[in-house]
């Protein structure tokens, strides 16, 4: 099952609003382990105390989860994407 990892930073005046994040990166991976690794690496880039964030990342359920906001405001979202097979046209 593919996963999408989105990293965002807050913008605007209302920094607590969930919809007020500018996407800074988005990647897709094939497995939950790869998604956890990508989220782990994103906490490295935030240069923060990763302990509590990495514990949460290690326990992501199969449908993913959200980490943050980190001290610098960054939010990391891991989301499972459902793939719908496409039908080949004749």
DSSP type of residue 12? S
Residue 67: what pLDDT? 87
Q: CA 57 to CA 51: how far, in whole Å?
A: 10
pLDDT at 74 over 80: yes
pTM over 0.75? The answer is no
Task: Tell me the C-alpha to C-alpha distance, in Å, between residue 83 and each of 5, 25, 43, 71, 86.
Answer: 16, 21, 28, 34, 9
**Quick one: DSSP state of residue 73?**
S
Across 37-65, average pLDDT: 80
24 has a pLDDT exceeding 80 = yes
Instruction: Tell me the mean pLDDT in the region 34-59.
Output: 79
> Percentage of residues in the chain with pLDDT exceeding 70?
73
pLDDT on residue 75: 87
Q: Show me where the domains of the chain are located.
A: 3-80
């Amino acid at each position: 099952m593919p996963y999408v990892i989105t990293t965002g930073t807050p913008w605007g005046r209302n920094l607590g609003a969930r919809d007020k994040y500018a996407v800074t990166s988005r990647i897709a991976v094939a497995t939950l382990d790869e998604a956890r690794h990508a989220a782990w690496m994103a906490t490295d880039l935030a240069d923060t105390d990763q302990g509590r964030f990495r514990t949460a990342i290690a326990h992501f359920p199969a449908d993913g989860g959200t980490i943050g906001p980190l001290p610098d405001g960054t939010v990391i979202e891991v989301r499972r994407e459902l793939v719908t097979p496409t039908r080949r046209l004749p």
